[in-house]
Every structure is written in C-alpha cells, then in structure tokens.
C-alpha cells in the first residue's frame, strides 16, 4: 500500500444528478514521489464522511488508502500523524 502525504483537505457536499440525496465528504489532495516529477505529484481523492468514520485528517498526515475492485475508496487510515497523536473525532456539524 502506498503512503501518501496529505497536502490539503476540503469539506464538501453535493447532490448527484440522479438523486436528491445529499452526499457529504472530503476532498483530499494527496502527494507522493513519482518518477519524472521534481517534488511531489498530487491527486485529488473524494472520501465520503461515512468512510472517514470520524477520523480527523490534517495536512502533513501520511495516509494509506485502499480501493475496491471498481477503483473507489474502500477505507482510509493514518499511517503517521503530523500532530503529536492520531485523534478520532466526529466532523463538526454544518453551521457550527
């Protein structure tokens, strides 16, 4: 599994074109060393709030992401926290 560096976190929500259900989650911008790239190559990954499971991810954290057979995020974990410790907390409610 690749270790990816979190370089940005954005809380977001949207309604899919084919549904009225509101999907809440996070855009994570992740960096990794890649052949032919000076510095870090970055990619954006969307992860639902449900799959975050109350995990707090911050820039500088090193994460591991596993994908299902369709290429969608199955789970995420913190391999190394940028802070003093890895914390688990529920995301803040909208409007707070």
pTM comes to 0.78
CA distance 25 to 8: 14
Which domains does the chain carry?
3-80 (2.40.50)
Whether 24 shows a pLDDT value over 60: the answer reads yes
Q: Which residues in the chain belong to E strands, given as ranges?
A: 3-14, 23-32, 41-48, 62-67, 73-80
CA distance 54 to 49: 7
Residues 42-76 have pLDDT tens digits of 999 999 999 998 899 999 999 999 999 999 899 99
């Amino acid at each position: 599994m690749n270790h990816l560096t979190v370089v940005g976190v954005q809380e977001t929500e949207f309604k899919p074109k084919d549904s009225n259900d509101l999907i809440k989650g996070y855009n994570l911008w992740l960096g990794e060393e890649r052949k032919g790239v000076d510095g870090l190559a970055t990619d954006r990954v969307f992860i639902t709030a449900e799959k975050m499971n109350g995990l707090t991810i911050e820039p500088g954290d090193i994460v591991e992401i596993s994908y299902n057979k369709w290429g969608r995020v199955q789970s995420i974990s913190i391999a190394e926290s940028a802070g003093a410790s890895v914390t688990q907390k529920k995301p803040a409610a909208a409007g707070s």
